[in-house]
């Protein structure tokens, strides 16, 4: 029944983020003074349509991408931490008596899960974590329950195992982002303490919004807008294949008209989407403002995207770099890692699970 959404530290693991467009791996170790050290990272493209709406439909293609990413990483470590997309996980916070034994809590969790999971319990994996004494009642504790369909987990495990890796942890991408956010927070004034920070993770197909207040997640939402739209427009406009368009988007080499006719309109649309997410958050929650915006995901690598978003929203905007205070492995180039870092938030958060 249980699986490791919430286990504490483990032996070293490679953080593996399997997303719509790429497999990203991060390997961390302990550096000096208890800081993290970035031993290595890699990115390998996933074939188009192999992952649709977070579901693996082309297992072989995804497994090939995992194999390639692991080869590029050049690590001997085979233990990995993976994440499910938050859309595949049902979470619920419940209250339970503070003096309840763990065995009784397990029984209670199953009873609670039965009420709100729309599938038979034998088809799901469930885990729970005690969050501490409830703010509303000192005799009770808040317990977070997480449940996911077994098939969603098995697909991801199969993709990693087919590539010769061993999955020791299954997490949720939003929790991994939150873990990595604590490394990014030091880029913000006063390390984001007592402030409301909106993390905007721009994937190929989706924009994932996660708002942190004083270091705790208070709001999660997805918007159907992604940097894949820019790739498609490059393909259409310049007659390139998806792979060629993706490379050109990252490395340049497109005609002079690209900037004005393709990139700028996309940047404007993206800034508008972020502004919309911001407005939706402030109008539908108790929070009436956001102090900082942190841009993550592949879309955050677009030059000057932070300037455009800040102009549009009038909120201080930074591009996430969870590695900015880390020592780097000998093969890693500082300039390149700053470019790749925003897309590695989830993989970094997963890799943190294997470092004390």
pLDDT digits (tens, 9 = 90+) for 42-85: 999 998 889 888 889 999 999 999 999 999 999 999 999 999 99
Of 177, 249, 229, give the one whose Cα is nearest residue 17.
177
Q: CA 166, 329, 301 angle in degrees (round to 5)?
A: 85
87 φψ region: left (φ > 0), alpha (ψ -120 to 50), beta (else): alpha
The topology (CATH level 3) of 89-150 is Dna Ligase; domain 1 (3.30.1490)
Q: In terms of C-beta density within 10 A (0-12 exposed, 13-18 middle, 19 or more buried), how is residue 283 classed?
A: exposed
Phi, psi at residue 58, to the nearest 5°? -115, 85
Q: CA 105, 111, 113 angle in degrees (round to 5)?
A: 100
- 222 pairs with which residues across the strands? 208
pTM of the entire structure?
Answer: 0.89
Name the residue ranges covered by the structural domains of the chain: 89-150
Query: Mean pLDDT, 10 residues at a time, over the chain (356 residues)?
Result: 52 90 94 86 91 89 96 94 91 88 88 85 88 86 89 93 94 92 92 94 91 91 90 92 82 88 94 96 95 94 93 96 92 90 96 86
Cα separation of 279 and 113, whole Å? 33
| 170 CB-near residues (< 8 Å, 6+ apart) | 3, 4, 5, 81, 82, 83, 84, 125, 153, 156, 157
Cα separation of 184 and 128, whole Å? 27
């Amino acid at each position: 029944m249980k699986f490791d959404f919430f286990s504490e530290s483990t032996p070293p693991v490679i953080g593996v983020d399997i997303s719509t467009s790429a497999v990203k791996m991060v390997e961390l170790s302990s550096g000096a003074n208890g800081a993290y050290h970035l031993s290595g990272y890699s990115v390998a493209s996933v074939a188009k349509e192999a992952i649709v709406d977070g579901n693996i439909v082309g297992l072989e293609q995804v497994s090939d991408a995992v194999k390639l990413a692991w080869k590029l990483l050049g690590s001997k470590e085979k233990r990995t931490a993976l994440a499910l997309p938050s859309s595949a996980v049902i979470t619920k916070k419940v209250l339970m008596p503070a003096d309840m034994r763990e065995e009784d809590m397990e029984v209670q969790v199953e009873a609670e899960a039965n009420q709100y999971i729309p599938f038979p319990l034998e088809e799901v994996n469930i885990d729970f974590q005690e969050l501490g004494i409830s703010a509303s009642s000192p005799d009770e504790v808040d317990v977070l329950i997480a449940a996911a369909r077994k098939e969603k987990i098995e697909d991801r495990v199969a993709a990693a195992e087919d590539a010769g890796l061993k999955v020791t942890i299954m997490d949720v991408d939003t929790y991994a982002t939150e873990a990595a956010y604590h490394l990014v927070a030091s880029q913000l004034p006063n390390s984001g303490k007592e402030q409301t920070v909106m993390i905007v993770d721009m994937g190929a197909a989706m924009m994932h919004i996660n708002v942190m207040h004083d270091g705790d997640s208070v709001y999660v939402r997805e918007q159907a807008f992604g940097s894949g739209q820019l790739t498609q427009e490059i393909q259409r406009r310049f007659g390139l294949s998806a792979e060629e368009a993706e490379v050109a988007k990252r490395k340049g080499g497109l005609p002079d008209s690209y900037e004005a006719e393709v990139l700028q309109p996309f940047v404007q649309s993206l800034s508008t989407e972020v502004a919309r997410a911001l407005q939706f958050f402030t109008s539908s929650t108790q929070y009436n403002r956001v102090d900082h915006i942190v841009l993550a995901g592949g879309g955050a690598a677009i030059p000057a995207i932070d300037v455009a978003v800040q102009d549009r929203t009038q909120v201080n905007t930074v591009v996430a770099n969870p590695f900015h205070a880390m020592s780097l492995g000998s093969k890693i180039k500082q300039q390149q890692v700053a470019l790749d870092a925003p897309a590695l938030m989830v993989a970094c958060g997963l890799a943190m699970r294997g470092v004390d």
